[in-house]
Amino acid sequence: MLNRRAFLKTSAAALPLAATLDPVFAVTPVQTSGSAPTLTPLPLRLAPEDSSRLSWQQKVRRVGQSNMTEHDPAVMNIEEWAEYWHSAGTDVVFVSVTGILAFYPSKVKFHRLGKFLNNRDFFGECTAAAKKRGMRVVARMSPDLNWGDALEAHPEWAMRNKDGSVQFNGEEPRLFKTCMFSTYMDDYVPAVMREVTSLYDVDCFYTNGWPPIGMLPECHCAICSKLPAPGTPAYWHTFNDRLFELWNKYDTIAKDKKPDSFYFANLGGNVHASANLDRLGKLAVWFQGDNQGRTNDDPAVWGATLQARVCNAVLDGKFAANITAAYSTGIVRWRNASKNPAEAQMWMNETLAGGLALYYHFIGSEAGLGEDRRWQKVGSDYFQWAAKHDAHLKPRRSIANIGVVIGQGTQLLYKGPTTAPTHSYMRETTHGLYETLLRGRYTFDYVHEDRLDPEHLSKYRVLLLPNIAMLSDSQCQQIHDYVHSGGSLMASFETSLYDENLNPRSDFGLTDLLGINKAGDVVGTNGNAYYARIEHPNATPPHPILDGFSNTNWLPGSQNRIPLKPVPNPILTVVPGFVQYPPELAYPPISHTDEPAVVLRETGSSRIAFFPGDIERTYWLTGHGDLLRLMHNTLRWLTHDARPVHVEGDGFVEMFAWETSPGYAIHLLNYTNPNAQHSWMQSTYSLGPQNVSLKLPSGVKAKSVELLRSEQLVPSRLQGDTLHFTIPRVDDYEIAAITIA
């Protein structure tokens, strides 16, 4: 067998190009220690895809939108608009019908005509210009707001505050917010849709602005006052029932004249989406990831890939697009000015890497097609490049052996522990684990909490439960079954301490499985956080989860923890937190306890690790390398250090591995950048060689490996049934497309 050093030498020799590259940004990964992982063979390939069975939208790869303003009928050059999107290689464009302002001579009462419409049929002209060029048209509506005359005639349409006053739009107070439980949604919205289907040949309908993204509405109108209290599990169920009732109603109208038409809504919010993602995945045929760019509030660069992983968890191969705002997103917005090209490009890179269709979006067409026209070349260059590689960029299924549970109920309804209640608690937990997995270069999928059955879990060697506080008895049973069939598990903190209705349990729902018992309420931090004492610091060899720690008896714990009853032979025990200032008092009054700081179990090939602290979130808050190493070591132990794909090299990257129709695609997103977790990308810091190895399924041979961004072939080598090749350089993004014989 070729050792690692010899392999590196061989690949460098096979690639003279790599040796001549400029020295590039070199980063020493924090976590690497120990040997290279074992490769598990890729699964047997899926049967070839029958493209005649795909719906039209499943063939869409590029979506374009110049979001139309009231002024556009006066200033937009329709031919220039249609030509731009068509020449970029766009399959489908959004054209505004709206609901707030009509872009055609609507006769529906309260569908106010735009003041620059001047009797023109702007919607019809745009639709005709798109259709003439072979692009499909999405009729875009906005059911979320309407004007004072509608409010006067229908006071029951408005969302209300607790005191009964009307909720108005914050920027344009003449517009009131419409309530999704009112007849506005049952009568007015369908009337506009029916008028559009009677007048135009559109391909499907979309509503912007509803449902709300990442949160639940709060309304106190006469109808809503009779519903369960906002923000409660019972309200969430009612919200979902109403959402899907309306979705079905609108879908039926869309299909009235055209059976292959459909309805879809504004979605996004990744793991804390408002609509139940399991139900949505069964109903939606187009997931609209309205997740357009990052903000100060949510600064991690991987916003689009996180959304993509969520879509892949629930869509079963149906269509999803993630929107890239070409305009300036964030806390200070310029919706009519281009954003940094490096940032817009990274968002599109992430969209493709995550397996979603590209969607590029700008607002307003002042001066023909925008006062600021810089966004246009960024989008068309990207679209045109992607169009050359559609076959390799469209995924069939992910290659991953780690499943991360989406606790959607917990994300939406749980407010954090009593010691640290914050709106962003679960978001920080999510990002902490996400970064951990990226830094370990793991391939992983999300798994929805309502899909914990054997069919969805069998591909994963390990399931991760990052503080999934709310779990029903039946979900706990499914997790039991998964472990008893040989799966491994990592869980943390308040996982299973609440049922699906947010009722606290007296002990963990997973007590028996995890081998733990609660010994008290959550302990937070006041001063020094708690430490984890290494019980046998001189053990040789150390326990695998302690690999690489030397010259210390203590490791950092977490900000918050659930005290556990003692367990036999603990690896780490809690040193309770104490004063950090003044330093005179910064020493532990109690230096040694029998309270476990991690609980490990092993039965057959199944391994379990439970951290009583909120370790993922504490890592996100601090970036402490010990926490990262501890989680990486634990993941290696849980998976028996087996991976389906191994990519070795410097840099902070996110990777995806896909089975595709021509073969396989390994995507590397280069986040090695001072702006990876703050503001926007300004430029790219290239990475040097990345050595890829994977074990092809038996009987499958690789014909070629092509790098799609740098558009070059690279040599590959078969060692036994393991395929090795080197990506000599990664700028912002690279895809190694493996074509099989």
Round to whole Å and give the CA distance between 326 and 269. Answer: 19
Tell me how crowded residue 44 is: count the other CB atoms within 10 A of its CB: 10
Kindly state the smallest distance separating residue 587's Cβ from Zn ion, in Å. Answer: 57
CB-nearer residue toward Zn ion: 189 or 666: 189
CB-nearer residue toward Zn ion: 224 or 647: 224
Query: Identity (one letter) of the amino acid at 638?
Result: L
Round to whole Å and give the CA distance between 157 and 65. Answer: 29
> 344 with 375: CB under 8 angstroms?
yes
Residue from 680, 214, 632, 649 nearest 435 by CA: 632
> Which residues contact Zn ion by CB under 5 A?
179, 181, 219, 221, 224
Kindly state the smallest distance separating residue 501's Cβ from Zn ion, in Å. Answer: 23
CB-nearer residue toward Zn ion: 155 or 548: 155
Kindly state the smallest distance separating residue 146's Cβ from Zn ion, in Å. Answer: 14
Please work out, in degrees rounded to the nearest 5, the angle formed at the alpha carbon of residue 421 by the alpha carbons of 292 and 237: 65
CB-nearer residue toward Zn ion: 37 or 217: 217
Kindly state the smallest distance separating residue 156's Cβ from Zn ion, in Å. Answer: 9
Kindly state the smallest distance separating residue 158's Cβ from Zn ion, in Å. Answer: 8
Ramachandran quadrant class, 241 (left: phi over 0; alpha: psi -120 to 50; beta: rest):
alpha
CB-nearer residue toward Zn ion: 224 or 308: 224
Kindly state the smallest distance separating residue 226's Cβ from Zn ion, in Å. Answer: 10
Tell me how crowded residue 505 is: count the other CB atoms within 10 A of its CB: 16
Q: Residue 548: is it exposed, middle or buried by C-beta count within 10 angstroms (0-12/13-18/19+)?
A: middle
- What are the contacts of 148-153 at 24+ separation with CB within 8 A? 148/174, 148/176, 149/110, 149/112, 150/110, 150/176, 150/188, 151/176, 153/110
CB-nearer residue toward Zn ion: 188 or 531: 188
Helix (H, G, I), strand (E, B) or coil at 249: helix
> 79 with 126: CB under 8 angstroms?
no
Kindly state the smallest distance separating residue 179's Cβ from Zn ion, in Å. Answer: 3
CB-nearer residue toward Zn ion: 49 or 218: 218
CB-nearer residue toward Zn ion: 112 or 160: 160
Round to whole Å and give the CA distance between 672 and 688. Answer: 12
Round to whole Å and give the CA distance between 659 and 661. Answer: 7
CB-nearer residue toward Zn ion: 40 or 238: 238
Kindly state the smallest distance separating residue 387's Cβ from Zn ion, in Å. Answer: 45
Looking at residue 701, the DSSP 8-state letter turns out to be -
Kindly state the smallest distance separating residue 159's Cβ from Zn ion, in Å. Answer: 5
Kindly give, in sequence order, each residue whose CB lies less than 8 Å from that of residue 716, ignoring residues fewer than 6 positions away: 702, 704, 705, 723, 724, 725, 738
